[in-house]
Amino acid sequence: MSEESVAERLMSTLISKMESMDGDLQMLKAENQQLRNAVSDPISMLRKAGFVATMTPLSQDVSTDAFRGDVSVENEMSSGLLKSQGEYSNSDIHLMSWDEIHEMAGQAKETEVTQ
C-alpha cells in the first residue's frame, strides 16, 4: 500500500467520523430545544404527567373549621386546652406535648360547632 492510499483512507475515516459527530450534535440540539419548550410551559408538563387542574368545592355540611378560628366553639370557656385561635401562638403549639395535642383533638371531636 502506498502512503497516499493510507492517507486518503485516514482522511475519509476522519471526515465520516466528523460528519457523524455533527449529526449527533444536531440531534442533541433538537432534543434540547424540545426539552426547553416543555419546561418553559409547566402547565403542559404537568398535564403530560397526568395532573389536571381542578377546583374542589367546599363541602356542603362543613364550611368552617374551628381550629382556624372560623367560628366560635361551644364550651370554649370550659375547655382548658381548646382555646380560640388568638390564644395560641405558633411557639405555644410547638411547645405542646403529644398528649396535649391528642387531648385537644379529642375534645375538638366531641365539641359541637355553632355558626
Number of domains the chain contains: 2
For residue 26, what is the enclosing H or E element?
A: helix 3-40
> Angle 84-87-88 (CA atoms, 0-180°, nearest 5)?
100
Mean model confidence pLDDT for the chain: 76
10-64: pLDDT as tens digits: 999 999 999 999 999 999 999 999 889 888 888 888 888 888 777 666 666 665 6
The whole domain housing 85 covers 66-110
Residues in contact with 111: Cβ distance below 8 Å, sequence separation at least 6, in sequence order: 66, 73, 74, 75, 79, 82
Whether residue 42 is contained in a domain is answered as yes
CA distance 81 to 101: 9
Buried b (16+ CB within 10 A) or exposed e, 8-31: eeeeeeeeeeeeeeeeeeeeeeee
Give me the mean pLDDT over the 62-86 stretch.
53
pLDDT given at position 75 = 44
| Residue 98, domain member (yes or no) | yes
The pLDDT value given to residue 10 = 92
* Any domain includes 84: yes
